[in-house]
Structure 1
């Protein structure tokens, strides 16, 4: 496995992370928790020292759809058909502990592409005001790309 790969949690991975919906084993769950959307495999393996077979766990999590490479996630829209879940995942990975208000705003949004686009712009303003200009612009850019790719795929 390429030590430079960066993994993100898919909507399925976020569900498991937040609510233990899919009943992952404790060993796989511990590795899933280390996946933050920013750290390359090499860093995850460093942080997972003492955990059994981190690389094997990453492979299993990817095969079972809990994580995807950042590149795959962008190409496949995180492999799910729910743009709101994808946007919430993006907000969590980009903003970390500061994502709660943005995620809430996304979850309360309407489902049409127009409503979601308006929500993205509203979230950009919120992030700009309370967190950071650069993160606000990155969120807006990546969120609009996600929305575009999910609408292109017929969702």
Structure 2
């Protein structure tokens, strides 16, 4: 069971997993890992990850796999013993969402509007008029920079994490 009172941060393995997209992490776990910054508590992470899935289970999985740990200490013994049981369980990743480019564009435009309000209009138009995945990705990269300027690094990371879950081929 995960300690819902603890604040978690990425271990060196977790930092490497974010830097290296080939870490083998399921997209939902990677998205949650991106949101973990050593400042947010369980309640905030759970609220931010509603679209991703069961926050408690995913935090437990990240802790068991050594990607996160409580700030100021190692993973609690109960988590370590749960890892032994979990490693015997079926570890098949959750099924991935199949998303079309039009769906991805709609989702991203709505997300930008929620984050930036009316000032997102030009960014949304660039995203909505993207003719292919390459143009969409280029527009999202530009949007990430604007979100970073307005909402900070954690806001930009959260934006990208959510967009990645709704991008074709992610």
TM-score range, shorter chain: 0.3 to 0.5
Q: Which has the higher contact order (CA 8 A, sep 6+)?
A: 2
Q: Counting helix residues as a fraction of each chain, which structure ranks higher?
A: 1
Larger radius of gyration: 2
- Give the TM-score, by structure 1 length: 0.45
- Give the TM-score, by structure 2 length: 0.41
